[in-house]
Amino acid sequence: MIYLNNAATTIQKPPAVAEAVVAAMAGAGSSSRGASANDLAAARSVAGARVRLARLIGFSHPERVIFTQNATMALNTAIFGLLRPGDHVITTDFEHNSVLRPLHELERRGVIDLDYLRADASGRLHMEDLEGLFRPNTAAVVSTHASNLTGAIVDAAALAEAAHAHGARFVLDASQTLGALPVDMVALGADILCFTGHKALMGPQGTGGLAVVSDVELAPLVHGGTGVKSADPLQPESYPEHLEAGTMNGHGLAGLDAALEFLLDLGVDQVERHERDLRERFCAGVAGAAGVTVYGQDDGHGHAGVVALNLAGMDSSTLADRLAYEHGIATRAGLHCAPRMHAALGTLEQGAVRFSFGWYTTASDIDAAVEALAAIAAELD
C-alpha cells in the first residue's frame, strides 16, 4: 500500500517512536503518582515531551504545555475554557469540526455569538472582510493554520494581529502544520496553540495538547486527580495540573517525546521542503489529466502537503476505492470533517479525494499516484 493519507494520521514513523512506546509499556510507571524508579521514569518522559514541544514551537513556558488525547480535546479545552456568556467569536470557513462543533454548541446554548471569515470557490479566505467582523464583545478569533482539505496555509499572524488590536485572543489549530512546517507560536501571535501528536509530529495516536500563554487562564474542562495538592477540593491553579486531570497517557507520550526528538534533530524545515517538492510534483503530474479538478488556490501563503481533487463523472468515494483496491494507494474521500470548506468549493455533495504527504512519502509514491489517476481518467474519455 502506498500511503497518501498522512493528513488523517501517519502510519510510517521514526523507529524510535515504537521503541519508546514498547519500553514505556515494559517498565514505566505513572507520572506524578509515585516515587519509585518506574514512576519517576514516566514523569521524566512526560517532562521531556513538554520541553521538546515547547522548543519546537518557540515557547518559553513548557509548564504551560498541556497534554490531552488529541487535538479535538485540546480545542474543546481551549474553547470551553476561554469563552464566557455574551462573548462573540470569529472563526473561518476553513475549520475542521473539532473547532466548528464546540463553537456551534456554545452558540446553540446561547453562550456566544458566532461569525465566519468566508472562503470563496477558489479556496481563498476573504481576509479583506476580517476587520468588519469584529464587535465590541469579540473575545476570540479561532482559526486553523492550514486547511485540512486543500492544505492552503492561513495568514495566522494577520489574524492574531487583528484579534489583539481589538482586545481579543487568538486560538490556533496547528493540527495540520506542526511538524510539517516551522511553527513559531510567538511570531504567529497565538495565545493558545492546539496540536495533535499523530499527524506530522509522527507520534502515537492518543496524544495531543495545547500551549497557553502566561496571561491567559482557562477554566478546566475536566476535574479530578492530579497527583498533587490532593487535599484541595478544587482543581489546582498551577499549570500544567490545572488542565490535566487523571492519569497521563505515559506510553503514548514516551513515543511522542521520541518523535519530537527526531524532528528537532532533523529540522522541520527539511520536512517542509520535502512535502512542498512532493506537492509540486503531484500537481504538475495531474495538471494534464482529463477531467481532474484540483481545489485550493494559492493566495501567496503556500500549501501544506495536501491536495484535494475530483475526477469529473465519478463520485469521490468511488475514485478513492478504485485507487485503493486497483492500485494500492490509500487516500481519503468524502467531507473530511470540513463541511463549510466543501460548501465554499461547491463539493458538499460530491466530496473530494484528498492526497496527503509526509516525511516518508517518496517521489515514486507520487509518480504511482499520478499514473493511477491518469489510468482511471483515461477510461472515462
How far apart are the C-alpha atoms of 75 and 211, rounded to whole Å?
11
- Give per-residue pLDDT as tens, 155-178: 999 999 999 999 999 999 999 999
pLDDT attached to residue 34 = 56
Whether residues 376 and 278 share a domain: the answer is yes
pLDDT attached to residue 256 = 98
Q: Which class for 110: exposed (0-12), middle (13-18), buried (19 or more C-beta within 10 A)? A: exposed
pLDDT attached to residue 30 = 65
Whether residues 304 and 242 share a domain: the answer is no
Pairing of the two strands 329-330 and 2-3: parallel
Name which of 187, 193, 194, 171 is nearest 90 in CA terms: 171
- Give per-residue pLDDT as tens, 271-286: 999 999 999 999 999 9
Whether residues 34 and 148 share a domain: the answer is yes
Whether residues 54 and 174 share a domain: the answer is yes
Residue with cell 500511503: 3
pLDDT attached to residue 33 = 65
Whether residues 79 and 163 share a domain: the answer is yes
* pLDDT(228) > 90: no
Whether residues 55 and 90 share a domain: the answer is yes
Please tell me the total count of domains within the chain.
Answer: 2
Weakest mean pLDDT among 112-121, 173-182, 243-252, 307-316: 243-252
Weakest mean pLDDT among 241-250, 316-325, 367-376: 241-250
pLDDT attached to residue 87 = 98
Cα 11 to chain centroid distance, Å, stands at 16
Read off the pLDDT band of 42 (50, 70, 90). Answer: low
Whether residues 281 and 374 share a domain: the answer is yes
**What is the residue range of 127's domain?**
15-266
How far apart are the C-alpha atoms of 308 and 78, rounded to whole Å?
29
Q: State whether residue 321 is helix, strand or coil.
A: helix
pLDDT attached to residue 226 = 74
Here the CATH number for the domain that contains residue 352 is: 3.90.1150.10
Read off the pLDDT band of 359 (50, 70, 90). Answer: very high
How far apart are the C-alpha atoms of 246 and 313, rounded to whole Å?
51
Pairing of the two strands 208-212 and 192-196: antiparallel
Whole-number mean pLDDT of the chain?
94
Beta carbons within 10 angstroms of residue 147's beta carbon? 30
How far apart are the C-alpha atoms of 210 and 53, rounded to whole Å?
10
Whether residues 30 and 46 share a domain: the answer is yes
Whole-model pTM: value is 0.96
Whether residues 215 and 361 share a domain: the answer is no
How far apart are the C-alpha atoms of 205 and 198, rounded to whole Å?
5
pLDDT attached to residue 247 = 85
- Examine the fold and report which residue of 241, 266, 291 is the final residue of a domain before the chain moves on: 266
Mean pLDDT for 213-233 is 88
- Give per-residue pLDDT as tens, 89-145: 999 999 999 999 999 999 999 999 999 999 999 999 999 999 999 999 999 999 999
Q: Distance between terminal CA atoms of the chain? A: 27
Weakest mean pLDDT among 116-120, 214-218, 226-230, 372-376: 226-230
Read off the pLDDT band of 45 (50, 70, 90). Answer: confident
- Give per-residue pLDDT as tens, 61-94: 999 999 999 999 999 999 999 999 999 999 999 9
- Examine the fold and report which residue of 242, 266, 290 is the final residue of a domain before the chain moves on: 266
Whether residues 290 and 223 share a domain: the answer is no
pLDDT attached to residue 234 = 87
* pLDDT(348) > 90: yes
How far apart are the C-alpha atoms of 201 and 262, rounded to whole Å?
9
How far apart are the C-alpha atoms of 319 and 291, rounded to whole Å?
12
Whether residues 227 and 304 share a domain: the answer is no
pLDDT attached to residue 272 = 98
Whether residues 278 and 148 share a domain: the answer is no
Here the CATH number for the domain that contains residue 172 is: 3.40.640.10
pLDDT attached to residue 31 = 63
Cα 118 to chain centroid distance, Å, stands at 20
- Examine the fold and report which residue of 233, 266, 299 is the final residue of a domain before the chain moves on: 266
How far apart are the C-alpha atoms of 295 and 335, rounded to whole Å?
13
Q: What is the CA radius of gyration of the chain?
A: 21
pLDDT attached to residue 43 = 74
Read off the pLDDT band of 32 (50, 70, 90). Answer: low
* pLDDT(35) > 70: no
DSSP H stretches of helix in 70-178: 71-82, 97-108, 156-165
pLDDT attached to residue 306 = 98
